Amino acid sequence: MRLKLDEGLSNRLKPTLQELGHDVDTVIDEGLKSEADTVVADTARQNDRMLFTLDKGLVNFNLEQYAPGKHPGIVVFRLKSFGRGTVTRFVEDFVRSQDLDKFIGCVAIVEPGKVRIRRKDDSNETNTPSSD
C-alpha cells in the first residue's frame, strides 16, 4: 500500500511500515511540514497515497471535499494520550491487524477498540471492532 504519514505521526513509523511491505512517504520527506491540511491531503491524493493522520479536523470540516471515493483513503487515528511511543505502537498495531485494502477510498476513524469506516455511497458508517 502507498501511504503518506502526516507530520503529527512519528517518523519512527516509516521504517516499520516499510518492513511490513508498504511504500511510505512522509510530510517531512516532501517538505510539507506546517502546510495546510488541504495541501497535505491534496498531495496525498495526487500521489495516490492513503493518508494517515491524527488531524480529525481534516475530515470533520472538509468531509464534502474529502468524501469517500474522492481520494485513495484517509485514516484518522484518535487517541486520548498522544505520547510518541503510544501513537507509534497504536498505528503499528493497527497496520499489522488490518487489511488496508478495505480502507481504499474510505474515510476511517480509528480509536482504541473501534474502527468507523465511511465508504462511497454509504449512508451509514460501518463500525468494526478493532483487535486492540
SS (H, E, C) the chain: CEEEECCCCCCCHHHHHHHCCCEEEECCCCCCCCCCHHHHHHHHHHCCCEEEECCHHHHHHCCCCCCCCCCCCEEEECCCCCCHHHHHHHHHHHHHHCCHHHHCCCEEEEECCEEEEECCCCCCCEEECCCC
The pLDDT value recorded for residue 54 is: 87
Looking at residue 23, what is its pLDDT? 96
The pLDDT, as a whole number, for residue 130 is: 52
Q: Give residue 12's pLDDT.
A: 83
8 phi, psi to nearest 5 deg: -75, -10
The pLDDT value given to residue 93: 94
What is the pLDDT, as a whole number, of residue 132? Answer: 47
The residue ranges of every structural domain in the chain are 2-128
Contact criterion met (CB below 8 Å) for 24 and 18: yes
Q: How far apart are CA 52 and CA 50, in angstroms?
A: 7
Residue 84 has what pLDDT?
A: 64
* pLDDT, position 95: 96
Q: What is the pLDDT along the chain (132 residues), one digit of tens a residue?
A: 999 999 888 778 999 999 999 999 999 988 888 888 788 888 999 999 999 998 766 655 566 666 777 789 999 998 877 666 788 899 999 999 999 999 999 999 999 999 989 887 764 444 555 544
> What sign for the dihedral angle of Cα 65, 69, 70, 72?
positive
Residue 115 has what pLDDT? 93
- Other Cβ atoms within 10 Å of 34 Cβ, number: 8
